[in-house]
Amino acid sequence: MNAPLPFIDLAAQRERLGPAVEEAILRVVRHGAYIMGPEIVELEAELAAFCGAKHALTCASGTDALAMVLMAKDVKPGDAVLCPSFTFAATAEVVAWLGATPVFVDVREDSFNLDPQSLELGLASARAAGLRPVGVIPVDLFGQPADYDAVAPIAEREGLWMLCDAAQSFGATYRGRKLGSIGCATATSFFPAKPLGCYGDGGAVFTDDDALDAVLRSIRIHGQGADKYENLRVGINGRLDTIQAAVLLEKLKIFPSEIAARERVARRYNELLREVAIVPEVQEGSTSVWAQYTLRIPGADRDAFQAALKARGIPTAVYYPKPLHLQPAYARHPRAGNGLPVSERLAGEVVSLPMHPYLTEEAQDRIVAAVKEALAAQRVRIAS
């Protein structure tokens, strides 16, 4: 009854895929083109077709995907890049790598995503600090697209490029379009726990801009030019391994049905938990791929809540316990307005439940019962 449940069930996915992934890996082992082999070319074509972007460029991680775009945009010291504070560190980290300054912006509590009004305040903070705002990186937190229609006009008015951090949201849609062709580029991650994950690190950049794509392809391989030993610019070693491309090609075949299953699981959680917690809502006109299913439990003792679920074999996680503007590595950087109250509040309230396409109704019922029991024991009732 209390056998531990997985937070993400990659074993169930492997079982569904049968021997297909192992065979795909073995094909690479046998043909031997471990670096930039034929599976890379095939995967890039499939990914571009899947999301409707003109170009898809695979790379070694979601972090490299973000960094390569910043390098292509020649981000440098004195530049400010605006990003939400309530995100994974990589979003701001890549800005700091290049000696530029991340300027932290607050998020909206109804979507966990960048707040356009706070973006305006962030621009003022950047300028007050003597910085030159050059770009903005909205993040699609937990799988839901940011409010691009609100952010894009601000970016345009200010002459900023917009890079979409879709590390958690590849496969989601915004106003009927799959993510991948909004802004100057879109970066995603194929980290194993992501909705589309490989068996190691991996990532991709999507763009409709031919010139940007060409520069990214050069940066990915040490800034190479016409041949391997011509270096046009400073680049990185940012290639995806062929073996990971082979894994992704197999997983991509079942990805649409996995997205549908994630949606079913999330909807059912929402129905069953709405009366006891603040459940995540997807904004009108968007779909989410539910990289995380994240509740808010204001007023509850979150540590005790997590311990109660753990005692029943149910893992939970907190993404993210501390917003970036409060992290030692980033606290010195400017922030929008006088502070980022929503990010700080959410960091104290959020808790994510097991979420994956193979979560059975039976397991979900067990999780829901444990959530209700744990909150009732604390005498907190937080209706959505």
Ligand X SMILES: Cc1ncc(COP(=O)(O)O)c(C=O)c1O
Binding site for ligand X (CB under 6 A): 61-63, 87-88, 90-91, 139, 165, 167-168, 189, 191, 201, 203
DSSP codes, 179-192? TTSSSSEEEEE--T
Q: Taking CB positions, which residue lies at the least distance from ligand X?
A: 62
Question: Considering the complex, what minimum distance in angstroms separates the CB of residue 130 from ligand X?
Answer: 28
Query: Residue 257: phi, psi to the nearest 5?
Result: -70, -30
Q: Judged by CB, which is closer to ligand X: 161, or 190? A: 190
**How many other C-beta atoms lie within 10 A of the C-beta of residue 23?**
12
CB of 292 to ligand X, least distance (A): 9
Report the nearest approach of ligand X to the CB of residue 172 (Å): 13
**Is the CB of 24 or the CB of 187 nearer to ligand X?**
187
CB of 88 to ligand X, least distance (A): 4
Cα dist from 221 to 69, 230, 373, whole Å = 14, 11, 54
Nearest distance from residue 190's CB to ligand X, in Å?
7
Shortest Cβ 203–ligand X spacing (Å) = 5
- Pick 53 or 371: Cβ nearer ligand X: 53
Kindly state the smallest distance separating residue 347's Cβ from ligand X, in Å: 15
Backbone angles phi, psi at 345, to 5 degrees: -65, -45
Q: How far apart are CA 302 and CA 374, in angstroms?
A: 10
Nearer to ligand X by Cβ, of 87 and 101: the residue is 87
How far is 300 from 51, CA to CA, in rounded Å? 40
Contact predicate 263/287, CB 8 Å: yes
Judged by CB, which is closer to ligand X: 63, or 144? Answer: 63
- Specify whether the CB–CB gap between 21 and 182 falls below 8 A: no
Q: Are 68 and 220 in contact (CB under 8 A)?
A: yes
Whether the Cβ atoms of residue 90 and residue 112 lie closer than 8 Å to each other: no
The most distant pair of C-alpha atoms in the chain lies apart, rounded to whole Å, by 67
Q: For residues 141 and 336, which CB has a smaller minimum distance to ligand X in the complex?
A: 141
Alpha helices in the chain (DSSP H): 10-17, 20-31, 38-51, 62-72, 90-97, 116-128, 148-158, 210-220, 242-273, 302-311, 341-349, 361-377
Find the shortest distance in angstroms from Cβ 312 to ligand X. 27
- Dihedral of CA 156/172/355/253: which sign? negative
Q: Which is nearer to ligand X, 137 or 371 (CB)?
A: 137
How long, in residues, is the chain?
384
Q: Which is nearer to ligand X, 169 or 364 (CB)?
A: 169
* DSSP at 14: H
Q: Which is nearer to ligand X, 58 or 91 (CB)?
A: 91
Structural Rg of the chain based on CA atoms: 21
Nearer to ligand X (CB atom), residue 69 or residue 375: 69
Comparing CA positions, the residue from 199, 183, 213 lying closest to residue 83 is 183
352, β-bridge pairs: 294, 317
Distance CA 51, CA 184 (A): 15
CB of 206 to ligand X, least distance (A): 14
Minimum Å distance from CB 344 to ligand X? 18
Output the CA–CA distances (angstroms, integers) from residue 74 to 90, 147, 216, 381, in the order listed: 18, 26, 12, 50
